[in-house]
Chain A
Amino acid sequence: SYELTQAPSLSVSPGQTAYITCSGDKLGDKYASWYQQKPGQSPVLVMYQNSKRPSGIPERFSGSNSENTATLTISGTQPMDEADYYCQAWDSSTVTFGGGTKLTV
């Protein structure tokens, strides 16, 4: 089965740029999506098809995907961005989520 690997945690200061990475075999050949989940809440889609932002997601969120790594970048990170972030990709009609990265701001 396909696997996606994320660092368990990341800490940044307010205003800094957060780079949240997701690694998988030839992930760059697939499309990565990203979800934000705050405590006690349902996940929210923040990036899809590598670099597309859903309506309502701030411009400080951006995404990229190349070779074996997809990256969710949060520029000018704000305290409200503190959350768990999960990457996700499809492989042969099955879905894989990364283990999640807890972002502390």
Chain B
Amino acid sequence: EVQLVESGGGLVQPGRSLRLSCTTSGFTFADSSVGWVRQAPGKGLEWVGFIRSKSYGGATQYAASVQGRFTISGDVSETIAYLQMSSLRTEDTAVYYCTRIGGEDGGSYLSYFDSWGQGTLVTVSS
């Protein structure tokens, strides 16, 4: 069974940093691309970014709203994906979901988010 479990959320002041973890199991992490999607309170889904599998070079891609502030990485040995968030803003307040990316192209036109974690809440406030 595919499982993704996020952790590391909490209350953080604007301008500070926070790292989220996504502990995975039930699939071959090294062969999978992993994405992050967030949802502000009462709002819709917003894509944050993703990291391609090692098969696709492990490249990362980010939404314009977080480019330069957020970094996604993966620990293949521990099968954990990370979302390092810096220079946090109040508008970054959201539930952050970790997702496995299915599809034949590892993160492109054929891809889709086929498994989701339960989410972790990040609140940016002074």
Name A's B-contacting residues (CB within 8 A): 1, 30-31, 33, 35, 37, 42-45, 48-49, 54, 84, 86, 88, 90, 93-100
Q: How large is the interface on B (under 10, 10 to 19, 20 to 34, 35 or more residues)?
A: 20 to 34
Which residues of chain A are within 8 angstroms of B118 by Cβ–Cβ distance? 42
- Pick from B44, B109, B111: contact of A86, CB under 8 Å: B44
- 6 additional contacts (CB under 8 A) given A31-B109, A43-B97, A49-B103: A35-B45, A42-B118, A43-B45, A96-B47, A97-B44, A99-B44
Contact between B112 and A97, CB atoms less than 8 A apart: no
Name B's A-contacting residues (CB within 8 A): 35, 37, 44-47, 50, 61, 63-64, 97, 102-103, 107-119
Chain A residue at minimal CB-CB distance from B52: A93
- Please, how many angstroms separate the alpha-carbon atoms of A30 and B115 in the complex? 21
Contact between A42 and B119, CB atoms less than 8 A apart: yes
